[in-house]
Chain A
Amino acid sequence: MLVLSAQLIGPPARAGASQQCGTCHLKTVALLLASCFLLQLTLSAQVKEVRRVLILNDLGIISSPGFAEVDQALLAGLQKSPYHIELYQESLELTLFPDEISQRRFREEFVQKYSDRKPDVIIAAGSDSLKFIADLHEKFLRDTPVVFCAILGEVPNGLGPDTHVTGVLGRLQPEETLKAALRLLPGTRHVVVTGGTGKFDYRWEALAKESFQKYESKLDFTYLTELTMPALLERLKNLSSDTIVYYTAITQDAAGERFISSTQALPLVARAANAPVFVMDDVDLRQAGGEGAVGGDLVNWADDASVAAGMGVRILNGEWVQDIPVVRSNSEYMFDWRALKRWGIKESNLPPGSRVLNRQPGFWEEYKQYVLLGVFILLAQTAAILGLLWQRRRRRKTEADLRKSEEKFSKTFRQSPLAISISSTKEDRYLEVNQTFEELTGWRRDEVAGRSRSEIQLWVDSSQRSSFLKDVVAFGSVRDLEVKIRRKDGQIRTALGSAELIEVDGQKCCLSVWTDISERKQAEEALANVSHKLIEAQEKERTRIARELHDDINQRIALATLEIEQLKLNTPELQNELRARMNALGVRLQETGIEVQAISHRLHSSKLEILGVVAACRSFCREIAEQHKMEVQFSSDAVPKNLPPDVSLTLFRVLQESLQNAMKHSGAELFEVQLRGTSGEVELIVRDDGSGFDVDAAMSNQGLGLISMRERVSLVNGAIVITSRPMGGTEVNVRVPAVAVSEGSKMISGVA
């Protein structure tokens, strides 16, 4: 339930308030109504105990924006009460109806209204309201606790000893404002104090005057309080530069015209004055800061009201008023930023703890986020640009490196002493060749470029080319391949080369590098021929001598032996001594024959020719075993009977060489020889369990025995593999074709 006084909801005030201020007050009223309504709704919903609170103020919320704020703060504070607040609001409207009749009528009405509806707490806002309550002496109010606020100076006289009063005493200190003003504007010599003719106005003027007394000797004070508003404004327009204005309150001018002090009179004064205007409370500053009101040490009525509401709640909650002491509110230095700027007052000179209102944010404050965002974007863009520049630089460097590399490759490619070609692996077409390639093949670059292998037919063995390309694709590279190529003029050359799989423009290509080894091959072949011829000559000579020994010398010895035998048979009368000597001669001749035969056998094994390779090898193994008193295990299997003589001789010589070497150097005690025929081949293995040796070193040291073996084997297109490792024994493995017969070898066999 909400009860408002008739004055509040009556016709518009006769004060001639401006439309702007009227709107402001209407908003305040609406807020007040809404707040009460909400308070009611909330409390009724909870079905709480009811407590009546009566707010009485001096001026009314429309006549005074200050009291409007006070009532608003009281309402807000009372909402914290646990009770259902039944709120009543009354106003003395001293500025509108200060006359005795009006006040008496109000008093009678007030008594009539509340005599049978006793409030639980009365909150008196303003000195006159408190005095009004104190003066009633009505019984129904005697025990009612009273909380006051918005009162300056001391608690008014006339409150009885049994009056239950507490509250907040406002602290208005015009002297402090003057001190601050002198500090901010040290050149000040004149102080103009403005005021009105209303009852209310006189009170404020008196307070100011009292406060300024001690400064009257230092400063020139002018009190413009008995003027009409136009006259006042006119006076204010022409103030000297060392003047400040102190505005108290104007609710009525000398012409009797009424004003709402904060919202109507002060803005006119501040606008008209050509000097800084200092004010008394925060409401004034907020209302007229934009017009030039600077501020000062100001009373904050709303804060006082909040404290008073808290006291009211405590009383409603059951605390004794006597237990709640009167408190004094704190004033606060408050200034309007716009006015400071207007009057060139530095913020740094403001008293410590000053609050500056309406500060317009500087560019930095207002656009800080945008500036930071902008800077961030700028930095990000800069970073991105730098990144791009760096990338571009790196790319250019890479491109330059690539160009250099390509130039280097190109130069290397062109000037290489090796023949180089690049061909596609898919179609085997030549893409690029160098000058050396042209010299090697006789084909010019423009003749081979884009043409396929089948068109050029460079490789003598086309299947070798196919296999080569297949290997390059499969394994990525091919090394040390020897090929025969046909030059454009038909000449056959031998080249040794390697190849790599590369990618050119996304296409798989074969990069081949070749060197002409024809001369080297010819030299090697010539050397091999010499070697072969040496071997052949040696064999031929040995065979000849062996045959001479066997066919001639041995036959002669046999015949001589026979002659002696014949002589003995034909002369039976021979003396015994002579016969014995002839016998001895015969025996010596036979021994000589055996010796000659052995020499012949060593030079050239007649067994090899007559009995074949198996018998010859077995015999040799047996002889050498007896000679060195070692064991040689010989085995043979499926060896063709009629092997070509050169093949037999090769196997026999390798056996002789390797077994003699093993006997001499290996330190082995067991030797194994295997001779066996496989499909189209005869394999000879000579193995020992001796100390072994470094084959490569032995080969490079020109070990004639090993080289000779290799040469012999190559003569019959065979292969020899010598495997040996230190302390791991040695194995000589020879494979020779059972049918291949070279011309030279035939010649050897023909001598037998």
Chain B
Amino acid sequence: MERARVLLAEDNQEMRERVEKLLGPLYEIVDSVGNGEEAIHSVLSLTPDVLVTDISMPILNGIQLASHVRDSGCRARVVFLTIHDDDDYVESAFETGALGYVLKPRLDYDLIPAIQAALLGEKFQSH
């Protein structure tokens, strides 16, 4: 079975490596970028199945990125990986059409289920 293709957008290098290490065995990491603007280009050019993105990022934040992805007609599912444990963020995140909302401290437990759910078109949110 072909592995799902994942694009990672995260401005913190250490966190990015951590996520790559977690997802590498299961998914194909098509690209790993440090800001929203780079992520747009990669999404549009690489058309990943899933976009895992942080919210707070320079130049273009995750919410704006997700909105652009949605508006661009790209079919990549979006899963947010963030430390913002706040309903306003969650609400805004899902308003962009994202399917997953994972809190970073819950990375090891929730990110893969969230990606899997997203691939199935289902929503996932860390608690």
Q: Chain A: residues with CB nearer than 8 A to chain B?
A: 550-551, 554-555, 558-559, 561-562, 565-566, 569, 586, 589-590, 593-594, 597, 606-607, 609-611, 615, 618-619
B14 to chain A: closest residue by CB: A559
CA distance A611 to B82 in the complex (A): 14
**Cβ contacts under 8 Å, B84 to chain A:** 597, 606
Q: Does B72 contact A (CB under 8 A)?
A: no
Contact B15 A555 (CB under 8 A): yes
CA distance A555 to B61 in the complex (A): 16
Known: A555-B83, A566-B108, A593-B105. A610 touches B14 (CB 8 A): no
CA distance A272 to B15 in the complex (A): 172
B7 to chain A, nearest CB (A): 20
A-B contact pairs, 27 of them (CB 8 A): A551-B56, A555-B12, A555-B83, A558-B15, A558-B83, A558-B104, A558-B107, A559-B14, A559-B15, A559-B18, A562-B104, A562-B107, A565-B105, A565-B109, A586-B105, A590-B105, A597-B85, A606-B56, A607-B86, A610-B55, A610-B61, A610-B92, A611-B63, A611-B88, A615-B92, A618-B88, A619-B86
Q: Does B11 contact A (CB under 8 A)?
A: yes
B43-67: which have CB < 8 Å to A? 55-56, 61-64
Most chain A CB within a 10 A radius of its CB, from B11, B61, B92, B104? B104
A619 to chain B: closest residue by CB: B88
Q: A561-B104, A562-B107 are in contact. List 6 more A-B contacts (CB 8 A).
A: A550-B56, A551-B11, A551-B12, A555-B14, A562-B108, A609-B61
Q: Which 7 A-B pairs have the closest CB atoms?
A: A558-B104, A561-B105, A555-B12, A610-B61, A565-B108, A611-B92, A615-B88
**Cβ contacts under 8 Å, B104 to chain A:** 555, 558, 561-562
Option from B63, B105, B107 in Cβ contact (under 8 Å) with A610: B63
Number of B interface residues in the complex (CB < 8 A): 23
CA distance A562 to B86 in the complex (A): 20
CA distance A435 to B86 in the complex (A): 70
A618 to chain B: closest residue by CB: B88
- Secondary structure class of chain A's binding surface, majority of residues: helix
A552 to chain B, nearest CB (A): 8
Most chain B CB within a 10 A radius of its CB, from A554, A597, A610? A610
B70-127: which have CB < 8 Å to A? 83-86, 88-89, 92, 104-105, 107-109
Q: Chain B: residues with CB nearer than 8 A to chain A?
A: 11-12, 14-15, 18, 55-56, 61-64, 83-86, 88-89, 92, 104-105, 107-109
Most chain A CB within a 10 A radius of its CB, from B12, B88, B104, B105? B105
**Cβ contacts under 8 Å, B88 to chain A:** 607, 611, 615, 618-619
B55 to chain A, nearest CB (A): 6
Contact B15 A569 (CB under 8 A): no
Contact A611 B89 (CB under 8 A): yes
**Cβ contacts under 8 Å, B62 to chain A:** 610
B21 to chain A, nearest CB (A): 10
**Cβ contacts under 8 Å, A609 to chain B:** 61
A752 to chain B: closest residue by CB: B58
**Cβ contacts under 8 Å, B83 to chain A:** 550, 554-555, 558, 593, 597
**Cβ contacts under 8 Å, A558 to chain B:** 15, 83, 104-105, 107
CA distance A182 to B61 in the complex (A): 154
**Cβ contacts under 8 Å, A562 to chain B:** 18, 104-105, 107-108
B63 to chain A, nearest CB (A): 5
A607 to chain B: closest residue by CB: B88
A550 to chain B: closest residue by CB: B56
CA distance A179 to B17 in the complex (A): 172
CA distance A565 to B14 in the complex (A): 16
CA distance A558 to B10 in the complex (A): 14
CA distance A551 to B14 in the complex (A): 11
CA distance A554 to B55 in the complex (A): 13
A558 to chain B: closest residue by CB: B104
